[in-house]
Each structure stands twice: as structure tokens, then as C-alpha cells.
A and B are shown apart, each in its own frame.
Chain A
Amino acid sequence: MNGQQTVFTSLYDPYVFQALNTLIGKPITVQTTKNPVQGMLKSVAPDHFVVEINQTPFFIRTQEVVWVSPA
């Protein structure tokens, strides 16, 4: 790739995406438009992220997030 680094960007909520990246591996609480989700933030992608509760992954669309708390 000509020595260039590929950078993923989020088309919406880019700063949420950026902020979530700093919380990977930490316990978080997410208030979604439906229910709250509390667990370990496993990974973050431009349009979704993965929270694991008791070894069960939940794939959450960033657009459905109201707030996130590192707790």
C-alpha cells in the first residue's frame, strides 16, 4: 500500500467513534434507544461496537446509542 496506513473513519458520530476507541477493554455502560447494556467493550468499528456480557457479544449500532459511560 505504498507505505501508507489505512485509516477508517466514521461517516456519522466520528467523535463518538474516536472516544469509544479509548475505552476498548474496559467495562462500559451504554444507554441505547431501547435498553441499557453493561459489559466489556471488546471492539469498535466505524458504525458499530461490540460489548460482551458473560462471554456473550452484543453488536450495537452506534446510531442507536444515547450515551456511554466508562463504568
Chain B
Amino acid sequence: MFKRVNKLLIDLPAPEYGDANAAAAVQELLGGKFGEMSTLNNYMYQSFNFRQKGKLKPFYDLVASITAEEFGHVELVSNTINLVNKGTSFTAEPDLTPLHNAKDKRNTYSFIATAQTSLAGDSMGNAWRGDYVFSSGNLILDLLHNFFLEIGARTHKMRVYEMTDHPTAREMIGYLLVRGGVHILAYAKAIEIATGTDLTKMLPVPNLDNRVFDHARKYEDQGVGNVLFTWSDGDYQDIRQIWKGTNPANGQPLVVQEGIPEGAPIPDLNDLPEEFAPGIDRDLYQQIAKRLLADM
């Protein structure tokens, strides 16, 4: 089961200017082949499909607990897209063509389909696909796939970082570079325990430290890269048998923390009359309020 907490992993800056084409690029980190929807669904199905959960419990606990973190990453990237997606339209009557600037933006779905919010698809508007999920049932093959998937995700994050300097996008990418680094290391350590092969020697891939990125350095300094959470009240404790020793990137001890990070408020979004979203005017709102409060 999943329990939901109404918090975002980090506090996202929300400047009063946006960049719709940057939001379109960030879509790759959400619904691309190496996006957060892929990491979420890969670990989710692998945890559902896991054979011999008791005998191989630390590995099951690892894949199952990281699933929950990836859910939070999907939430974080979606919120980033929503905050970056502003400043293309203006509020006016339909005949004044208030969405005319959208014709020249890369992601027209954002204006036509989602009212300038996130799309369950990639930076080219392709829908996220279920065949991005790899769940072979062979533990070592699945772990190796996850190691590769996380490295691919890290590469894409670095490139999107190089595409946009929008502060909201960079804050999110800085944080996820560090958390993605944790997952790369976690799968490398799981593979080492399962096979005796030390893949950490090839890290980092690509061969540059997270500290090169201004917005990642803060999180590295806070030690965010040394912690693996259980994302549960009591379950998934045996990740401790995998997440132990020191972080090869900085020599600091690796820590398992029970539960979830502190989190930050979920951003709210202004109404967008030119998109008829949410489309509740003052009169209708008063009627709704009356019905909501009736017979309580």
C-alpha cells in the first residue's frame, strides 16, 4: 500500500517569469524513457513481481523503498514543469487571441491539452510508455538494468541543466542529480553484494562530479547524497545490509534514515482564465461553497 503525504521533497523557487520551452525540455525528465515515470514504474513493477522476497529481502526492500522515493520525484518534476510553464499567455477575451504566443512554443499539448501544466510524456510530446518498464525477474539483470537506468537519467538531467538556467528547473535538477547519485550507488552496492563485482569503480558516469553543478553543490554539502530513506514506518529496514560503508565520492559514511525527509509545501497555481482553468468564477464558487457546507 501507499500512504500519501501532501508535501514536496524540496522547496522550489517560483519566480514571476517562466519559459515554456524550458518546461518542454524538462518534460524529458518526467515522461522520457529515462524520466522519473520510468524509474518509478520500473522499481514499482519489479517490487510487485519480485520472487523470494523473504530470502532476498534486502534487495526487495531496496527496490520497494526506492519506488516510493521515485513517486516523490515524479511529483517534484511535475511541479517544476507547472512553475516553469508561465508567461506565455495573457488573460483576455477569446477573440483577442490570448494564447497566440503558444503557436511558437515547442509543446503545444501544454496549451491545448493540460492548461500549461505537466504532461505524462517526454520533451517531444510522446506519451510515456509501459514498455519502458524492464522487469525480467532475474535479480542481477534487473539490478544491472536499474544501475544503467539511473546513469541514463543522470546524463539526461545534466543535459537539461545545460539547456535552461531557469531557477526552478535548476533547483529541481540539482537536487535530483544528488538523489539520483544515491540510487546509482545503491544499485552498484546491491550488485556488489549479489555478485562480488564492484561497479562503484567506474563511477561517476558521465565522468564529472555533481559538485560541478552550482545547484547540486548545496545538497552535496548538506549530505543529501549519503542518505537512503526507508520511506516507511517500520518496513524496508534491511536496506541497511546494502546501504553501508562510505560514499566513494566523498568518503563520508552512508546512513539509512527511517521514514521520509522533512519536505516542503506543495506549490499552488493561479487560475488561468484564458485556459478556462479551473473555470470556477465567483458566482459558481459561492454556489459550490453553499453545497459544500450544507448538511454538515
Contact = CB atoms under 8 A, between A and B. Distances in A.
Contacts of B90: 29, 31, 36-38
Interface stretch (A1-9, A11-19, A41-49, A50-58): A50-58
Contacts of A69: 92, 96
B101 interface: yes
B87 interface: yes
Interface residues of B, number: 12
B46 interface: no
Nearest to A35: B87
Contacts of B87: 35-37
A36 B15 CA distance: 16
A38 B91 CA distance: 8
Contacts, number: 29
B92 A71 contact: yes
A29 B16 contact: no
Contacts of B17: 35, 58
B33 to A, nearest CB: 30
B89 interface: yes
A60 to B, nearest CB: 12
Nearest to B89: A36
A36 B16 contact: no
Contacts of A58: 16-17
Given A36-B101, A37-B87, A56 B92 contact: no
Contacts of A71: 91-92
B38 interface: no
Contacts of B117: none
A63 to B, nearest CB: 19
Nearest to B14: A54
B78 interface: no
B79 interface: no
A71 B90 CA distance: 10
B67 interface: no
A29 B87 CA distance: 11
Interface of A: 29, 31, 35-38, 53-54, 56, 58, 69, 71
Given A35-B87, A37-B87, 17 more contacts: A29-B90, A29-B91, A29-B92, A31-B90, A31-B101, A35-B17, A35-B88, A35-B101, A36-B88, A36-B89, A36-B90, A37-B90, A38-B91, A54-B16, A69-B92, A69-B96, A71-B91
